[in-house]
Amino acid sequence: MLRVTGAALLIATAAIHLDLYLTGYRTIPTIGWLFLLQVISGFGLAALILATDDRLIAAAGALFALSTLGGYLISVQFGLFGFREVRTTAGIWAGILEIAAFAVLAELAALPGPSPLLRTGAFRTGAGGERHLPRQAVITRMGVPAIGGVAVVAAALLGGALVGAGGSAGTTTPVVGGAALGTDTIGGVKVLTDAQGRTLYWFAPDTSTKSVCYGTCAQYWPPVAGPDHAGNGVTGTLGTIQRTGGGVQETYDGHPLYTYIGDTGPGQAHGNNVNLNGGLWHEVVISP
């Protein structure tokens, strides 16, 4: 039961990451490859656990689930490889499943049982003829309570990180407008920037009169409030639109403007050509 349940939990977490990978995360530098690695490893470990009932593989699956959760917590609280995660339903469920997978597979690894990966001489034969690792009873007796403690700590860390993370509900209040927009050259391309020098983006599904980026989308791509004014080198037409639920958003040549949480400072354009939150994102290019 532990083997099947643990493998099923790993498959569930891998499936969530696969869905996120296919719906946009694959275009995020470095993060996309890490998501693909998680998917392949998750499905592979689940298959091995079901096929072998090996205690060491079960332990590897438990550590894999815990490390995946750790990566998520780091991304939510501090950012990872230039990308900072926000609180989403998929992330919450993945975190819960990863804690459950760790608890189940770690308990399986702590129970007496064979490990074909270890040499035969490493086993002892019990009174009933069963084979087990030396001191396995001690590992089982001490391991199970320890596993419960680690799971509780992991759950507390997940809850704390999610409380402090940006949520997906409601609308996001745009940053204060009234500043001068500027320009920067990134990768040989002259792009529009906000007053802090951060690259500005436009969203392909938007229209000249309407933004469709709300909720989780607006957490990843904070709308730029207007009205701003053009600084040196800025050509094109600035304007504003009214956002649903209140607030005024800046536009440039008919495109509502956004920043990207993956850009931690000036000179970065990690959001360019990313397919995320329902469409493609592009840096705003300033015409010569």
The answer on 151 and 191 residing in a single domain is no
Together in a domain, 17 and 133: yes
**CA neighbor of 259 nearest in space, from 209, 207, 191:** 191
* 170 in a structural domain: no
Last residue of a domain, one of 164, 196, 216: 164
Note whether residue 145 is domain-resident: yes
Q: Is residue 288 part of a domain?
A: no
User: Which of 62-76, 98-112, 157-171, 185-199 has the least mean pLDDT?
Assistant: 157-171
Q: Kindly state whether residue 267 falls inside one of the protein's structural domains.
A: yes
205 and 150 together in one domain: no
Same domain, 190 and 90: no
Which pLDDT tens digit goes with each residue over 51-88? 987 888 999 999 999 999 999 999 888 888 877 787 77
Contact 218, 212 (CB under 8 A): no
The verdict on pTM exceeding 0.85 is: no
User: Are 13 and 71 in the same domain?
Assistant: yes
Boundary of a domain, candidates 137, 164, 191:
164
- How many Cβ atoms from other residues are within 10 Å of residue 13's Cβ? 25
**pLDDT reading at 169 higher than 50:** no
Does the pLDDT of residue 202 top 90, yes or no? yes
Residues 133 and 79 in one domain: yes
Strand stretches in the chain, DSSP E: 124-125, 131-132, 180-186, 189-193, 201-203, 229-230, 238-242, 248-252, 255-256, 274-275, 280-283
Q: Could you report the per-residue pLDDT of 263-273, keeping only the tens digit for each? A: 878 998 888 88
Distance in angstroms (rounded) separating the CA atoms of residues 145 and 153: 13
The pLDDT > 90 percentage for the chain reads: 43
pLDDT digits (tens, 9 = 90+) for 224-279: 987 767 777 788 888 999 999 888 999 999 999 999 877 878 998 888 888 888 88
Q: Give yes or no: residues 84 and 223 share one domain.
A: no
pLDDT tens, residue by residue, 141-151: 666 778 888 88
Looking at the domain assignment, is residue 175 inside a domain?
Answer: no
| Cα 244-250-252 angle, rounded to 5 deg | 125
- Domain total of the chain: 2
Q: How confident is the model at residue 30 (pLDDT cuts 50, 70, 90)?
A: confident
Neighbours of 136 (CB within 10 A): 20
Angle at 2 between CA 129 and CA 96, to 5 degrees: 155
Do residues 130 and 201 both lie within one domain? no
**Residue 100 sits in the same domain as residue 129:** yes
> Would you say residue 78 lies in a domain?
yes
d(CA 264, CA 258) in angstroms, rounded, equals 14
Nearest to 53 by CA among 124, 113, 133: 113
Same structural domain for residues 227 and 274? yes
Residues 135 and 186 in one domain: no
Let me know if residue 169 belongs to a domain.
no
Residue 164 or 156, more confident: 156
| Cα–Cα dist 247/242, whole Å | 6
**Same-domain pairing of 255 and 212:** yes
**Range of the structural domain that residue 134 is part of:** 2-164
- Residue 43 falls inside a structural domain: yes
